[in-house]
Amino acid sequence: MQRPAVTAVLTAAVLALAAGCSSGGTDGPDHRESPSKKESARKSPNGKPGAEPPPEKGSAKVTRTLATGLKSPWGLAALPGGDLLVSSRDEGTITRVDGTTGKKTELGEVPGVSPGGEGGLMGLALSPSYASDHMVYAYFTTESDNRVARMLYDEKKPSGKQLGAPDTVFKGIPKGMIHNGGRIAFGPDKMLYAGVGETGDTDLSQDKKSLGGKILRLTPDGEPAPDNPFDASPVYSLGHRNVQGLAWDEQKRLWASEFGQDTWDELNEIKAGENYGWPDAEGKAGKTGFRDPIAQWKTSEASPSGVAYAEGSVWMAGLRGERLWRIPVRGVTGEPEPQAFLKGDHGRLRTVLAAGGKKLWLVTSETDSRGTPEKGDDKILEVEVE
């Protein structure tokens, strides 16, 4: 069933908030040109075995609804064995969802979370040493800042009391009613990456001394990674508006989704030390000194949040766009041709997580104050992709 479009009548202040979260564009190359899409889009980037491009046309099909009745779900992490942890942005809780039955068990509430606007309990990630330390990392908003903390998850304790006290590993990230970033993920290098917004203060994005409008790269203990591009700084890349998704492919390339403002939303390939242009460039601007996005979308088509990599493509969840985007990147040297799936079928889509092979987990976002919740919202969907 197609869901109706959501139209909100808001005050001027809230319109500014909505504009910060509803952006997009059409596909564009990253400072690269190709004689034709058909000639270039199927080539291997390095000629190595295993770098074959994905099918020219993909597919995405919801195979089941795993869980329902989630409130403002935001972050998602997969436990060993296949169960999931999901955060509630507004309630400040973390819940375990059985990967087979969908049964929900609340681990507990994260102390210090101060939800408001786009802030609250957001990204989740498991420690690279989770098998031995059982640490869960979370990105959340407090009364004074955004920060990253880790907590011991003890399954033996009663439901609601399974989270240990937060151990803050990194603090001082700017906070605001909008553009708090929030996505965290451990990369192939076992470093912790965090997508940070500029809180609506555009000057922060180009200020190398500010944490706002950046992607940060940290050790698991919260120190600047030793080989970061700027000496003794946690900043990995700059010139961002509001990074919402992080994922790596088999070549260890980092992909990040980002809200634009009024014209273009973006998917970027992130390189250490590179400048992605905001606020001086939005979308594929071709300006010297800035790195253009791999693909871009009109504001009505995306408002991208989480991304995942599977089957040779980046899969990007759309909030305002209410669709799942496929962007083929493996073996594609020219301009990728994004495809949209599930358009309007499940409302706003917040988070997508690779689950091995052709399987993705997809989280809806109708209870975040911007959607139109229906019975059962919000949900975790199982999706088969190609």
pLDDT of residue 16: 40
pLDDT computed for residue 340 by the predictor = 98
What does the pLDDT read at residue 334? 84
pLDDT in tens, 306-338: 999 999 999 999 999 999 999 999 998 888 999
pLDDT tens profile 359-369: 999 999 999 99
Query: What is the mean predicted confidence (pLDDT) over 167-179?
Result: 98
In one letter, which amino acid is 11? T
Q: Is the pLDDT of residue 37 over 50?
A: no
Six-digit token pair at 51?
């770098």
Confidence check: pLDDT of 180 > 80 = yes
| pTM (2 d.p.) | 0.88
Q: What is the rounded average pLDDT of the residues 86-97?
A: 98
Residues 6+ apart with CB under 8 A from 19: 261, 262
The predicted pLDDT at position 171 comes to 98
Residue in 304, 383, 308 with CA at minimum distance from that of residue 346: 383
Kindly tell me if the per-residue pLDDT of 51 is higher than 60.
yes
Quote the pLDDT of residue 166.
Answer: 98
At 272-304, the pLDDT tens digits run 999 999 999 999 999 999 999 999 999 889 999
Sign, Cα dihedral of 204, 205, 211, 212: positive
pLDDT score at 67:
98
| 3-state secondary structure string across 7-74 | CCCCCHHHHHHHHCCCCCECCCCCCCCCCCHHHHCCCCCCCCCCCCCCCCCCCEEEEEEEECCCCCEE
